[in-house]
Chains A and B, each alone.
Chain A
Amino acid sequence: MTALPEVSRTPRPGPSAPREYHFPRFERRKLANGMQLVVARVPKLPLATVVVLVDGGAVCDAEGYEGTAQLTAKMLLEGTERYDGAELAERIETLGASIEAGADWDAAAITMTTLVEHLSDAFDLLGEVVLSPAFSGRELERLKAERLAELLQLQAEPRGLADELFTKLLYAPGSRYARPEGGDEASVERINRQVIVDFYQARYLAGGTTVVVAGDITTERAEALVNQAFGKWEGRAPERVLADTRPARTERAVHLVVKSDAPQSELRIGHVGIPRNHPDFFPVNVMNALLGGLFNSRINLNLREAHAYTYGAFSGFEWRRQAGPFMVHTAVKSDITDAAARETLFEVDRIRAEAVTPDELSLATSYLTGVFPIRFETTTAIAAALSVLTLHGLPEDYYDRYRDNVASITVEKVLAAARKYLDPSALQMVVVGDPNIVRAPLEAMRFGPLLMYDTQGKPLT
């Protein structure tokens, strides 16, 4: 150690007076064709983000045709009646606009960000993308091949594989949630052009669609642009589709996915959680922040800073319209996989056993309230927040009341949330790792029966 230089140091400062912040004001309009419009004026820079939110998420996939929702959304950018895919990309990008189309569990979304000087032209192209897709057979075959490549890649990618297999093993086999969001090999191969066209006609309807606009634009102008680009669109809102959220098993089990010679184990521990639009969202969210949501959460301080088992360990609820997974995720050196699992279980038990301290609680609540304005610096983030509002039917003043709701959480509410929404007896553990190193120690934990799988998720005997 070199000699320490003498330094003059200044005392730790406190905060100055805070300045008020409001989530951007937004307006809602209903258009003549039944479309909803949400506009937030954000005049900071000459930009706008537009999200077209369609009730065509992966939960709408027919059984055996999983992946239809994602392929349909992606096909929108692969050509329209006027332009083929390459020409379309060139036209949009020459405006400097970025455009993406995809589907998650709950909705299909086409998201576009552009400088406002090009907004009118970009809107016209967006309308064309959504209203007049060509659904070229050749482009569909190409996108299917790309999905199959993705599935193939997953087999050698422990991180993604662990996430995908955890979800698959968590839900009852018949549930849409038990199959990959983008479909598996068999279902993707089965999808043909007619399947896509049928899905599009059934789900892509004006009445079930919301357009969110955030940026340097007035509501009047946004409404005019939407009318110009989408005015001729028709159709009433389609019926909402729900997924079966029952778990695959009610008792604990270890699911070991064989990845021989892996230098690390990818570890996932969790169970079925709660839907996004749940009355206890706030206590659960604060509880999770303390358990494993923050860098200074119990799980990360334990596994990373105290034990150096990992580069990071976190927990989270995946928020969907229906109960998505609650999951702890980390990657640990193979030979301490059991120890890391044990420490994780210890933290789940501990947060259910006794109340957190007021000091600990205030870390989570002051973080969540303080960071609130920082979450909404961009038009993309504001449009996404308004999409969440729409998608989950949250109250219009949700973002105005967010910080008060967080601040109202007490240590008692955290304890109650942990006891009610964390269930140690239902936990499933997925490990992608080297069985020669991890199998015997995991069995010795007596967590539950140990089942083995290959990297495609097929059981091994």
Chain B
Amino acid sequence: MRIPIETFRLQNGLFVSLSEDHTAPIVAVNLWYHVGSANEPPGRTGFAHLFEHMLFQGSADVQANEHFELVQRAGGTLNGSTWLERTNYFETLPSNQLELALWLEANRMGALLPAMTQQKLDTQRDVVKNERRWSMDNQPYGSWLEKLPALCFPSEHPFHHSLMGSMEDLTAASLDDVGQFFATFYTPDNAVLSIAGDFDPGNARRLVERHFGPIARGGHKPALPDMSLPPVFGQWKREVVPDDVMLPRLFLAFRSPAFGTAAYYPASVCGAILGLRNGSRLKRRLVREREVAAETTAFTFDLAKGSDLLVVDVTARPGVPAEQLEQEVALEIDALVRDGVTDAEVKRAVALIQTMFVSGMQEAGERADKLSMFATYFGDPNLLNEEVDRYRAVTAEQVNAFIAERLGENNRASLVYVPREEEPAELVGSGAAAEQR
């Protein structure tokens, strides 16, 4: 399977990828801005995400709420999302509506600020605060996405602080911040555009040039500080979180090679061996054989700058205390460090990853999003076509080298959720826990 890809760059710096597929009259338009929570200035945690909400509040020629309305009326789906390193905006529409999506994206890239008002900011600020309550504050274990990066990255590191932001910082965000952020980061030279699906490449190129061509280049984006970190934490970090939960749950993180590097692929395969689906090690050992876990999974954050995180996520069975859960997981990791993985385990993991990748490529939106991702992080969307081969080239030896380097006790961070009344005194009282809070 090869995805056809052609690329070009506008004079204002906008990088564009096109991928034709005429199977169905559908087209996906996808924009990644190379800005995420990592780029937030001090005192403005959560602003990148709040700003994403503001991008749906209209622009010079689009009324409030009209963005959603125009796309849905055209028969399209749409959304946006914010991550540590990037913010994306995307639509999938009937292919005869391609120009509408391009126009909408160009209008807000070129002329957002005339539509910004204090009232819209106040409303979206409250919506985001409700999103925070919904996804984190009133959700068992919901704070993990804030607490784990805080535990794993040094306090001055751009990945340390909360993506969702603190209520205080959200309150402090002003219309001036909106203007600054827009001028600094929402420029064509800090964005990539991808179009996948049913279109004529020549026509698409003309449309992109027409709508995005007149937008002025930026170029005032401040560089991120050096994000590189030593390969290991240097200690076993630990934080215990008493929460309104019924069962203990452990997030055990390892610092791992940055997304997209040659060393990333063995790490990713290691994660799949540990936690992907029913045949994974943790499922087999902790759920099926030891019966100490109710659920297990493993994943990477896929951070492309400096270093990534590989995370093992295990929820206890009723009656299993947090301490035992942590010990049982540690025993499995120790066994992995001692014995390594087998060729059969690598084969299973790679086969599953390959099928998932091909399945994902059925959707125009997923194709476009992956093109944007590779273009944003590495300047090369053609890496999409190398993804499966890079996984297939991973050997047990490489995975074992990763394990030897990264899964030792000097590179573990435990974020342990315990039911409020359970709080094991010996963990809560430990210096490490107090220090991290």
Listed in ascending order, the chain A residues whose CB lies under 8 Å from chain B are 1-2, 4-5, 7-10, 12-21, 44-47, 77, 85-86, 89-90, 92-98, 113-115, 139, 142, 145-146, 148-150, 152-153, 155-159, 261-264, 266, 294-296, 301, 304-305, 308-311, 331-333, 362-363, 366-367, 369-374, 376-380
Note all chain A residues with C-beta closer than 8 A to B21.
44
- Tell me whether A366 and B74 are in contact (CB under 8 A): yes
**Bound complex: CA of A8 vs CA of B109, how far in Å?**
12
Listed in ascending order, the chain B residues whose CB lies under 8 Å from chain A are 1, 21, 23-26, 60-61, 64-65, 68-69, 72-77, 92-100, 103, 106-107, 110-111, 113-114, 116, 122-124, 126-131, 133-135, 137-140, 175-176, 179-180, 183, 198, 210-211, 214-216, 244-247, 277-279, 283-284, 287-289, 291, 294, 315, 317-318, 344, 347-348, 351-352, 354-356, 358-359, 361-364
**Bound complex: CA of A373 vs CA of B128, how far in Å?**
32
- Tell me whether A4 and B140 are in contact (CB under 8 A): no
Contact of B65 among A146, A305, A377 (CB under 8 A): A305
Q: A2-B176, A16-B96 are in contact. Are A304 and B106 (CB under 8 A)?
A: no
Contact of A332 among B122, B130, B284 (CB under 8 A): B130
**Bound complex: CA of A239 vs CA of B73, how far in Å?**
44
Pair count A-B, CB < 8 A: 248
- Tell me whether B279 and A90 are in contact (CB under 8 A): yes
Q: A21-B24, A115-B355, A308-B123 are in contact. Are A367 and B1 (CB under 8 A)?
A: no
The 3 closest A-B pairs by CB, nearest first: A370-B75, A96-B351, A308-B126
- Tell me whether B74 and A377 are in contact (CB under 8 A): no
- Tell me whether B99 and A371 are in contact (CB under 8 A): no
- Tell me whether B362 and A47 are in contact (CB under 8 A): yes
- Tell me whether B246 and A155 are in contact (CB under 8 A): yes
Q: A86-B279, A331-B138 are in contact. Are A366 and B352 (CB under 8 A)?
A: no
Contact of B245 among A156, A363, A367 (CB under 8 A): A156
- A217 CB to nearest B CB, Å: 15
Note all chain B residues with C-beta closer than 8 A to A44.
21, 23, 362
Q: A18-B96, A93-B352, A148-B318 are in contact. Are A264 and B134 (CB under 8 A)?
A: yes
Q: A98-B352, A142-B288, A157-B140 are in contact. Are A10 and B211 (CB under 8 A)?
A: yes
Contact of B358 among A46, A264, A301, A310 (CB under 8 A): A46
Contact of B75 among A20, A77, A153, A369 (CB under 8 A): A369
Q: A13-B103, A93-B277, A304-B127 are in contact. Are A373 and B25 (CB under 8 A)?
A: yes
- Tell me whether A86 and B359 are in contact (CB under 8 A): no
Note all chain B residues with C-beta closer than 8 A to A369.
75
Note all chain A residues with C-beta closer than 8 A to B247.
149, 152-153
- Tell me whether B103 and A333 are in contact (CB under 8 A): no
**Bound complex: CA of A156 vs CA of B417, how far in Å?**
13
- B188 CB to nearest A CB, Å: 11
CB-defined A-B contacts under 8 Å, sample of 7: A1-B116, A85-B288, A95-B351, A148-B318, A149-B315, A310-B127, A311-B130
- Tell me whether B294 and A146 are in contact (CB under 8 A): yes
- Taking A77-B278, A363-B69 as given, write out 15 further A-B residue pairs in contact, using a Cβ cutoff of 8 Å, ordered by the A residue number: A1-B113, A9-B107, A15-B100, A19-B96, A46-B1, A46-B358, A93-B279, A149-B294, A155-B246, A305-B65, A310-B134, A333-B129, A374-B93, A378-B362, A379-B362
- Tell me whether B277 and A98 are in contact (CB under 8 A): yes
- Tell me whether A15 and B25 are in contact (CB under 8 A): no
Contact of B355 among A98, A331, A371 (CB under 8 A): A98
- Tell me whether B176 and A371 are in contact (CB under 8 A): no
**Bound complex: CA of A96 vs CA of B357, how far in Å?**
11
**Bound complex: CA of A18 vs CA of B97, how far in Å?**
8
Contact of A94 among B74, B106, B347 (CB under 8 A): B347
- B394 CB to nearest A CB, Å: 15
Note all chain B residues with C-beta closer than 8 A to A331.
130, 133-134, 138
Of listed A18, A19, A149, residue having the most chain B CB within 10 A: A149
**Bound complex: CA of A377 vs CA of B260, how far in Å?**
28
- Tell me whether B362 and A377 are in contact (CB under 8 A): yes
Contact of B278 among A8, A89, A96, A296 (CB under 8 A): A89
**Bound complex: CA of A152 vs CA of B419, how far in Å?**
12
- Tell me whether B26 and A377 are in contact (CB under 8 A): yes
- Tell me whether A15 and B97 are in contact (CB under 8 A): yes
Note all chain B residues with C-beta closer than 8 A to A310.
127, 130, 134
- Tell me whether B103 and A12 are in contact (CB under 8 A): yes
**Bound complex: CA of A13 vs CA of B288, how far in Å?**
58
Note all chain A residues with C-beta closer than 8 A to B351.
93-96
**Bound complex: CA of A347 vs CA of B365, how far in Å?**
34
Query: Which residue in chain B gives the minimum CB-CB distance to A266?
Result: B138
Note all chain B residues with C-beta closer than 8 A to A148.
318
